């Protein structure tokens, strides 16, 4: 009998994670301490980056990252600076940019990869551009080294929002290592899960120190090299000196201890995800109804994307209804085209040329879940359901 139920998310935990949580409970140390610092070290080493700063979500990672660039000594970001962003991403890729008064320039996506259209991105850069935010959509890397090179040449900040693509590779190098700042999410169902959680990596020691302060109230306490950072220890009153308008977005010891356990399994998880992804590619590569996601580099296969071809978009409601009847969950691709959401009225933005691909994908695309479990039956069953429309 084929399994009919195909949810969007699956847990990747087993008794290892429970054991880690129990250890934290027994230690009686719940708030930010050794486990977080340990996870940051293990994590940054795994990805070949100098510094890791853990926070309580991928959204917080984006917030702290953008904020940190405003407090750099040299060449800080300023309100009104222009930032290039892709038209498809999650809301909290954009929110910190709005909150810090930046001007967004939206670029359309490539209809095959669903990532930012690199040709358009290149054309959109002007002397006003101060930063590019690249987002690797649903496991699939952007043209990261090309964007990195442009940013270096033009002295533009480069941030990689890698919240959906942990463990993917571009030109044999992990995503989330190309930007001056890279952000990750460990939300439930992501490549590794710490319940909620996120990480920022950077090779810039000044940015890492600023992030550590911003993460914890804006105080000096977590700055590692106080002297280098210009903090006179004598001035510090009982460890409570505030130097930046900070937040409290710290993770706790439970998140970090689970993160350590999950990171050990990342490769195995991605191998299983990729097996499902390869099956999806084999079954659907020549199908009549949908375009599927074209892989760039080595995808970490977050989800299985389907975009109705124009000729078959009239089947949308029928097929969605079939999926509901068969208990197959599906959803909007990432957050869809951001410009379709009412929240845009709060943003200072422009659109480079147009975002017709992003609009089309928003209206005609969906994804099915992928996870580190064998989904062969589920994927075959989905195909059986739609095959009658071929």
CB 103 within 8 A of CB 83: yes
Pairing of the two strands 169-170 and 173-174? antiparallel
Task: Find the shortest distance in angstroms from Cβ 162 to ligand PLP.
Answer: 8
d(CA 41, CA 38): 5
Residue 316 parent element (H or E): helix 316-325
Using rule CB under 6 A, residue 185 touches ligand PLP:
yes
Assigned token pair, 52: 């890791």
Nearer Cβ to ligand PLP, position 198 or 219?
198
Residue with the shortest CB distance to ligand PLP: 58
Strands 303-308 and 349-351, how do they pair? unpaired
Q: Determine if 187 is a binding residue for ligand PLP (CB under 6 A).
A: yes
Binding of residue 201 to ligand PLP (CB under 6 A): no
**Contact indicator for 12, 262 with CB cutoff of 8 Å:** yes
What is the CA angle 87-91-96, rounded to 5?
A: 100
Select the span of 140-148, 161-169, 221-229, 245-253 touching ligand PLP (CB under 6 A). 161-169
Could you tell me the smallest distance in angstroms from the CB atom of residue 388 to ligand PLP? 33
For residues 274 and 43, give the distance between their C-alpha atoms in angstroms, rounded to a whole number: 22
Please name every residue paired with 116 in a beta bridge, in sequence order, or none if there are none. Answer: 109
Is 362 a residue of the active site?
no
Interface residues for ligand PLP in 163-182 (CB under 6 A)? 163-164
**Nearest distance in Å: CB 346, ligand PLP:** 18
Residue 161 lies near ligand PLP (rule: CB under 6 A): yes
Binding test (CB under 6 A) with ligand PLP, winner from 65, 92, 182, 194: 92
Residues in contact with 36: Cβ distance below 8 Å, sequence separation at least 6, in sequence order: 54, 250, 251, 252, 253, 255, 256
Q: With respect to ligand PLP, which residue has the nearer C-beta, 187 or 229?
A: 187
Judged by CB under 6 A, the residue of 65, 89, 113, 370 near ligand PLP is 89
Give 57 or 129: the residue with its C-beta nearer to ligand PLP: 57
Q: How many helices (H) and strands (E) does the chain have?
A: 12, 13
State how beta strands 169-170 and 157-161 pair. unpaired
CB of 224 to ligand PLP, least distance (A): 25
| Min separation Cβ 190 and ligand PLP, Å | 7
What distance in Å separates the CA atoms of residue 143 and residue 145, rounded to the nearest whole number? 6
- Told to check if 160 binds ligand PLP by CB under 6 A, we report no
Work out whether the CA dihedral 258, 261, 264, 269 comes out positive or negative.
Answer: negative
104 sits near ligand PLP (criterion: CB under 6 A)? no
Task: Give the interface segment with ligand PLP, choosing from 20-28, 90-98, 112-120, 209-217 (CB under 6 A).
Answer: 90-98
Residues annotated as part of the active site: 190
Residues that bind ligand PLP (CB under 6 A): 57-59, 62, 89-90, 92-93, 135, 161, 163-164, 185, 187, 198, 334
């Amino acid at each position: 009998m084929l399994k009919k139920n195909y949810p969007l998310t699956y847990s990747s935990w087993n008794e290892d994670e429970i054991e880690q949580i129990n250890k934290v409970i027994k230690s009686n140390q719940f708030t930010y301490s050794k486990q977080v610092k340990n996870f940051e070290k293990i994590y940054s080493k795994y990805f070949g980056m100098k510094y890791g700063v853990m926070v309580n979500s991928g959204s917080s990672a984006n917030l702290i990252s953008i904020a940190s660039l405003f407090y750099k000594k040299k060449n800080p970001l300023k309100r009104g600076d222009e930032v290039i962003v892709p038209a498809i991403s999650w809301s909290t890729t954009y929110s910190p940019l709005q909150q810090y008064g930046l001007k967004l320039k939206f670029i359309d996506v490539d209809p095959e990869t669903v990532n930012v259209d690199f040709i358009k991105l290149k054309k959109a850069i002007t002397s006003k551009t101060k930063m590019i935010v690249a987002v690797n959509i649903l496991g699939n890397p952007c043209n990261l080294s090309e964007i990195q090179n442009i940013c270096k040449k033009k002295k533009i900040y480069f941030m990689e929002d890698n919240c959906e693509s942990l463990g993917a590779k571009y030109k044999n190098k992990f995503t989330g290592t190309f930007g001056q700042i890279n952000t990750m999410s460990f939300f439930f169902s992501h490549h590794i899960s710490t319940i909620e959680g996120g990480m920022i990596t950077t090779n810039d020691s000044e940015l890492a120190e600023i992030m550590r302060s911003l993460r914890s109230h804006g105080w000096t306490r977590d700055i590692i090299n106080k002297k280098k950072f210009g903090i006179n220890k004598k001035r510090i009153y009982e460890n409570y000196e505030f130097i930046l308008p900070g937040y409290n977005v710290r993770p706790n010891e439970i998140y970090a201890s689970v993160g350590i356990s999950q990171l050990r399994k990342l490769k195995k998880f991605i191998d299983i995800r990729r097996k499902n992804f390869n099956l999806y590619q084999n079954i659907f590569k020549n199908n009549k109804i949908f375009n599927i996601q074209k892989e760039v580099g080595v995808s970490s296969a977050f989800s299985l994307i389907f975009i109705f071809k124009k000729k078959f978009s009239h089947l949308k409601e029928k097929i969605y209804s079939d999926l509901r009847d068969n208990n197959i969950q599906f959803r909007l691709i990432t957050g869809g085209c951001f410009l379709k959401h009412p929240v845009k009225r709060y943003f200072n933005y422009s659109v480079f040329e147009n975002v017709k691909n992003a609009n089309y994908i928003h209206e005609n695309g969906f994804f099915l879940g992928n996870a580190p479990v064998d989904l062969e039956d589920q994927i075959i069953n989905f195909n059986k359901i739609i095959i009658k429309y071929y």
